[in-house]
Amino acid sequence: MLNIKPVFSSLMRSKSGPILLLMQIILSVAIVANASFIIHERLTMMQRDSGIAEQEILAFTVYNFDPNIDTKLQNKVDQQILRRLPNVVTATSTNMLPLSGSGWSTTLNLGPDPETSKTTPQLAMYLGTEHTLETLGVKLVDGRNFYANEINDDVNGSNKLVIISKALADEVWPNESAVGKTLWADRDENVTVIGVVDKLQGAWVDSKDLEYSLIQNVDYTGHFYMVRAPSEHHKALKEQILEALMKENPNRVIDDFQSIQEVKQSSYRDHELMVSVLSMMVILLLLITSLGLTGMVMFNIQRRTKQIGTRRALGATKADILSLFLTENYLICIAGGLLGACLAVVLGQQLMQHYDLPQLDLIYPLLTVVGMLLVTTVAVVLPARRAANISPAMATRSV
């Protein structure tokens, strides 16, 4: 059993190598811990359930440039055409696309007086028809859907009804049903909640209010449409939509076909890039640290060949020599790991303060230290086994 004191004394005879390696481990632990935390946080964000049939929803835009078009009538005709196409489940107009990074948002009040009433969180405001819920594939968990005769053509029309997300309902009216409740835009404008869907995210994936949304009973005369159909039919459906709508009215441009899954991937592209870059950085840091340790051990073997031979001549086994180098490694790694963990916490606090990131979970520095010990053990064992094979006869040779 090797004592730590002579091993430590041996390291101190040549301080520059161990000190440089110690600093490398400190920085590596601090950076890898925070990078791993950010990677996990981004992956968790990207894997959130949107609550909608992402793969089945095909969205596109229609740009009318004929001033003689009755846009409201054309909107209704276009939706009827879309619903009659082969393999189409249903279709609807909309003012915005989920997870697209662009759309309408608002806040509402729980009473008519905005100065004294509680305000809702920032929420996404979808406009839709009685077909919107089925088009999105969301699950109604309370209340009902819109009726066809309740759909308005004007955002400012009367009989304003909304279907809200469960997250919004739980936030505004915890432990009670939201159906029948009223939300106010101002003293003279309010909407009545008639239904609650299990999950419906807004457009802004980086927003803390992503889960808060509502659908208002307005058949929006804009240029966004969503069609729900099995994903394997989307390619053929694009051609069918172009042909059918252009046949109805050729004085327009129909473009920007994409599934909501593609929209989502585009919105999360920066996060995906960050995960890739940070993952490569973590791998690179671990590799550099391992190579540094391997190099130091190989240098020590060359420098201490005669000493190792003497130990072998005095009865040290191969396991003793291997244990010597592993003990040196663990001393450096544990010291660097503890200091690196402290630095990781400080760095995490700075990231939280300046970049609005969550607080670093302490499990990440601890796991990083454990991982560093495992990686460096592998890096040390291979050259240390070479040292353990040095013959006792080396003690009698001049170096």
Residue-wise pLDDT for 341-365, tens only, equals 899 999 888 887 777 778 888 899 9
Q: What digits encode the pLDDT tens for the residues 375-388?
A: 888 888 877 777 66
Report which of residues 17 and 86 the model is more confident about.
Answer: 86
- In the chain, where does DSSP find H-type helix? 4-12, 16-46, 71-83, 132-136, 166-172, 234-248, 260-267, 269-303, 305-313, 318-355, 363-388
Q: What is the mean pLDDT of the chain?
A: 87
Report which of residues 324 and 393 the model is more confident about.
Answer: 324
- According to DSSP, the β-strands at 182-186 and 161-165 are unpaired
Q: What is the pLDDT of residue 394?
A: 56
Domain boundaries, the chain: 4-47+269-396, 66-250
pTM of the model: 0.81
Backbone angles phi, psi at 47, to 5 degrees: -95, 5
Report which of residues 307 and 215 the model is more confident about.
Answer: 215
Q: What digits encode the pLDDT tens for the residues 124-137?
A: 999 999 999 999 99
Q: What digits encode the pLDDT tens for the residues 307-333?
A: 666 766 777 777 777 777 788 778 888
Spatial contact of 121 and 107, defined as CB atoms under 8 Å apart: yes
Q: What digits encode the pLDDT tens for the residues 23-75?
A: 888 998 999 999 999 999 999 999 999 999 999 999 999 998 888 888 999 99
Q: Is 321 left (phi over 0), alpha (psi -120 to 50) or beta?
A: alpha
